[in-house]
Structure 1
Amino acid sequence: MTWLVPLLVLVPLLGAAVALGLLRHQKLQRAITVAVLAVAVVVAATLMVLVDQHGTIVVQVGGWQAPYGISLVVDRLSALLLTVSASVLLLVLLFSIGQGLAADDEDAPVTIYYPTYLVLAAGVLDAFLAGDLFNLYVAFEMLLVASYVLITLGGSEQRVRAGTTYIITSLIASALFLASIGLVYGATGTVNIAQISERVAGLPEHVQLLLHTMLLIAFGIKAAVFPLAFWLPDSYPTAPAPVTAVFAGLLTKVGIYAIIRLETIIFPRPQLNTVLLVVAVLTMIVGVLGAVSQTDVKRLLSFTLISHIGFMVMGVGLGSVVGTAAAVFYTVHHIVVQTTLFLVSGVMERVGGTTSTRSLGGLLKAAPFLAALYLVPAFNLGGIPPFSGFIGKLGLFRAAAEDGSPMAWVTVGAGVVTSLLTLYALMRVWDAAFWRPKPAAEAAAPHASTAEPHAHLRSPEPAPLTVSEETGEAYHPGGSTTVTDAAHASSASSPATGQAAAVEPSVHTPLPRMLVAVTTVAVLGSVALTVVAGPLYGYATRAAESLESPARYVQAVLGSTDGGTR
């Protein structure tokens, strides 16, 4: 079944090429993109089962044996992340179709969305398959090119500015990564991860430390750990909701995956474990304090994304099977739950016309089902029992307790504080957006949405509320009725006071069915993590056990002479 492995990269790239040639046939583009990602989900799930039963699968591309050729490696860790990532990519694609993000529009040729999205998918999947550092670098560059197009989709000034910050930071990380690869090759004579693992122990201590630190910084920028996460809160919230969701769910996790490989296969010695624990604590605390201070839902979620990266780094920094297993489990949990929350925020923006908690209100009465969709993943991310967030954090705290060092206990304290503040920040959004009535002033003169306008992105569903950058007036792109008109029609002045009455739910845009359906599936998926937590944690533990024995990985890659299964 080794022929399945290259399909995870080849099929999305071929699909992107076909979709690019069908720019004038958007329905075909859409069908091809959905079909390609559905195939990726099936292939990844099949590999996950095969790897768990039979061991690591290695494919030597073109028949060139390692370390001279390109090795594609699927072990339990990569198979698990491939399956989750492919599923999330498909789900977010369906959400974007429902939102009308890639709708045909002569003024904004966003039909490039589908081929670009497939290139992004190929980059994510290739990163999890890479058996050498240079192939991992190529995967990162595929992600960079595709993500820059997606993050600036629509071409507004705010998005281009945010995209510029994102790409400059990413290019710096890529340059550092490429320089690190050159130094690794100069020191070991190879870029194959398995062979580096064999040879790095023979290097002088200071050389090991230099190579280790450079790679860790490059991956840390990708993973958005403190103090290298400054770019994320200003970059992600400006993008359309589906793009933000897939970025938040997957792109930082590619960096976490690289850090796990670095600390378990390439440099398995506890050389920088204490540094990782310090970074984990700072990432948790700084990130969650940033979240607490936000009044925009997307920016708040971007800061919680940073803070919870700290939990994964904590598990890796503990340097034990228990800690790595908890980090793997928490990575899967966070991909699903964080993506779900960003999708919910996209529906909130569609209904309320903004993601600012100062302008939102009354959504509980206007859309009670949306309120439930928000509350479930919010509790999960906050770590409320019995959700998967609680299970993952409990595993991390248990690993820290087994470690017993003072720094490990500091991470436990930071984790508890971060969880409580995360829950506080998310419940404050609930209070402002759902429980509190919509401010009367917003009905009479709605403020400009903090989210980027979607004026060029027509939807097959009822059009989202859009805000003119010139006038600040909100309107429906497909019609002439403005939110101001609707507000005046639905809120009458009090005969006694002459003041505007509270806004009724009729001001809000109706819930689009497909968006609600896809978001509901995402929420159910986050709940399913709790239902299958036992088997999933067992799988993560087996993956961690394999990672803690680098010799297995080395034997699978270098000991394979026929490209078969080991």
Structure 2
Amino acid sequence: MSQLVALPVLLPLLAAALTLVARQLPAVQRVLGVAVLVTTTTVAAVLLVAADRGGPVVLRVGGYPPPWGIVLVADRLSALLLLVSTGVMLAVLLYAIGQRITDFGRATTSTAFHPMYLVLCAGVSLAYLTGDLFNLFVAFEVMLSASYVLITRRSTGPRIRAGMTYVIVSLTSSLLFISMVALVYAATGTVNLADLSAKVAELSSGARTGLGLLVVVVFGIKSALVPLHFWLPDSYPTAPAPITAVFAGLLTKVGMYALIRTQTLVFPGDTGSVFLLVVALATMLIGVLGAIAQNDLNRLLSFLLVSHIGFMLFGLALYTVAGLTGVILYIVHHIVVQAALFLVSGLVTRHSGTVSVCDMSGLARAYPLVAALFAVPALSLAGIPPFSGFVAKITLLQAGTQVATATAYLVTAGAVLTSLLTLYVMAKVWVGVFWGRSFTPRPDPDPHDDLQVGTGATALPMVLATGALVAAGVAVAVLAGPLADLGERAATDLLDRGAYRTAVLGAGGE
């Protein structure tokens, strides 16, 4: 069973090499990409069942014992997020394949897209499964290397400028990341997460606080926490629709996963819950207020993405089982819903030829299916019952009220206000885009720019992929009970670090 832990990393890398070799065979590229992601999703499901029934599944790469060797760990949290993430990547890949066929009228080859997309998948998988800080850094670099290519493909002026912002911020955060790894190693002599959970506790309180704050800054940039969020609304909206969807759905959540893992396993309570609660409140409110001010549909969704990262930090800052359960439910909900919204945005801009909300209207009359595909995730993001966003938010709000502090109550009230403002933003989009006068498509002279294709052409795989993600969001709500139970068990594991440490280091490492 332990050998399966390596497959979500190795299979996409091997397939990336094969798709590069098969760059003149588009059918082979498509089949390889879809087959590998289906296999990876299946492996993730098997790992989740195994971790839930028998504890973390650990692979010691090369047989070297930790903390000296590389270790891959699939516990309840990492396996669950891996399953959801690979499923979303599969849906987005199907959307991208359908989009390319529609734009060009035939199946064409892509030298960069399929290899880089699979490399991105390998990086995401490694980030969830790695058991040490240095390989977590490697995972982020693998993701960033692939994302640099994906975000600047077929670049125009705006995309080049946005890509430069993304690259510069990412390189800066990478420098901070590797510096943080070096400082942690200098202070403790190890980078293994399970080993660090004991070694960091032996440091002075000042050293622990300093390292903990550096970790928050590093992963705060990756997660787009306020005030480290400025790069995201400028970078994501200019990318092609499937790339924006997978970035919005996954990359910030990988950063949040890293923050959860380090703050619960290595620095429990060292950063200060009040500090994190204040950052969470600022992230929620500044993000949603930024969304209210936007007219560009993709920028509006990008600011909402920032805002709802604050909900996840809110649950983490509570440091309770209930709070972490809410975080896990919220991440699962948000990965699916946010990716679905950006795919719907891609459909909308293809039909309208513009990203300006003020220049759209009446789309519901011409394309009622697109309107329905938008309405479901929009209501879920706003937290309207009975959708998945309501289940996740009510769990977080209950956790916030259980912590009897003024700061927790204030952030809980801020979360309610943010949800109401999110509903206002979604209503604004609905009225501006889908209601109003009869829809008139706008032609676009550049058929290769998938942001603005006003021909009304939409391939069936694009609609089916978007519908699959919307249905997955509904499934999260339908399966809220079992998911909440699983999330509670995962949250208990996060706070009770013994099972993770024993699985990685053995009984002598406890």
Is residue 455 from structure 1 mapped to residue 402 from structure 2 by the alignment?
no
Whole-Å separation in 1 of the counterparts to 2:150 and 2:458: 25
Whole-Å separation in 2 of the counterparts to 1:374 and 1:268: 39
Superposed displacement of residue 133, structure 1: 0.2
- Report if the CA contact (8 A) 2:8-2:43 is conserved: yes
Is residue 95 from structure 1 mapped to residue 95 from structure 2 by the alignment?
yes
The TM-score normalised by the length of structure 1 is 0.87
Distance 1:232 1:547, change over 3 A: same
Root mean square deviation, CA, Å? 2.1
Q: Look up the SS of the partner of 1:3 in the other structure.
A: helix
Is residue 345 from structure 1 mapped to residue 345 from structure 2 by the alignment?
yes
**Higher relative helix content:** 2
Superposed displacement of residue 560, structure 1: 7.0
Whole-Å separation in 1 of the counterparts to 2:154 and 2:396: 41
1:154 maps to amino acid = R
Structure 1 match to 2:492: 545
Whole-Å separation in 2 of the counterparts to 1:126 and 1:101: 31
Whole-Å separation in 2 of the counterparts to 1:465 and 1:192: 47
- Report if the CA contact (8 A) 1:224-1:306 is conserved: yes
Superposed displacement of residue 510, structure 1: 4.7
Q: Where does 1:138-287 land on structure 2 (aligned, <5 Å)?
A: 138-269=138-269, 271-287=271-287
Superposed displacement of residue 455, structure 1: 3.5
Q: Look up the SS of the partner of 2:2 in the other structure.
A: coil
Which runs of no fewer than 5 residues in structure 2 stay unpaired? none
Distance 1:122 1:104, change over 3 A: farther
Q: Look up the SS of the partner of 2:66 in the other structure.
A: coil
- Report if the CA contact (8 A) 1:194-1:265 is conserved: yes
Q: Look up the SS of the partner of 1:40 in the other structure.
A: helix
1:521 maps to amino acid = A
Whole-Å separation in 2 of the counterparts to 1:377 and 1:210: 39
Superposed displacement of residue 71, structure 1: 0.6
Structure 1 match to 2:68: 68
Residue 533 of structure 1 is aligned with which of 473, 480, 489?
A: 480
The TM-score normalised by the length of structure 2 is 0.96
Superposed displacement of residue 111, structure 1: 2.8
Superposed displacement of residue 210, structure 1: 1.2
- Report if the CA contact (8 A) 1:219-1:256 is conserved: yes
- Report if the CA contact (8 A) 1:270-1:319 is conserved: no
Superposed displacement of residue 465, structure 1: 5.3
Superposed displacement of residue 551, structure 1: 1.9
- Report if the CA contact (8 A) 1:70-1:132 is conserved: yes
- Report if the CA contact (8 A) 1:104-1:110 is conserved: no
Distance 1:98 1:16, change over 3 A: same
Percent of aligned pairs sharing the same letter:
50
Is residue 121 from structure 1 mapped to residue 136 from structure 2 by the alignment?
no
Q: Look up the SS of the partner of 2:72 in the other structure.
A: strand
Whole-Å separation in 2 of the counterparts to 1:380 and 1:213: 33
- Report if the CA contact (8 A) 2:24-2:109 is conserved: no
Instruction: Kindly report structure 1 stretches of 4+ aligned residues shifted beyond 4 Å.
Output: 101-105
Structure 1 match to 2:295: 295
Whole-Å separation in 2 of the counterparts to 1:31 and 1:457: 24
1:200 maps to amino acid = V
Superposed displacement of residue 27, structure 1: 1.2
Q: Look up the SS of the partner of 1:431 in the other structure.
A: helix
Whole-Å separation in 1 of the counterparts to 2:302 and 2:88: 18
1:204 maps to amino acid = S
Structure 2 match to 1:488: none
Distance 1:554 1:416, change over 3 A: same
Judge which range, 225-234 or 518-527, deviates more: 518-527
Whole-Å separation in 2 of the counterparts to 1:316 and 1:160: 36
Q: Look up the SS of the partner of 1:200 in the other structure.
A: helix
- Report if the CA contact (8 A) 1:401-1:408 is conserved: yes
Distance 1:215 1:31, change over 3 A: same
Q: Flag the structure with larger Rg.
A: 1
2:447 maps to amino acid = A
Which digits, 9 at most, give the CA deviation of each residue in 1:420-456, with x for residues without a partner? Answer: 11111111111111111158xx77xx6x98xxx8633
1:4 maps to amino acid = L
Superposed displacement of residue 353, structure 1: 1.5
Superposed displacement of residue 355, structure 1: 2.1
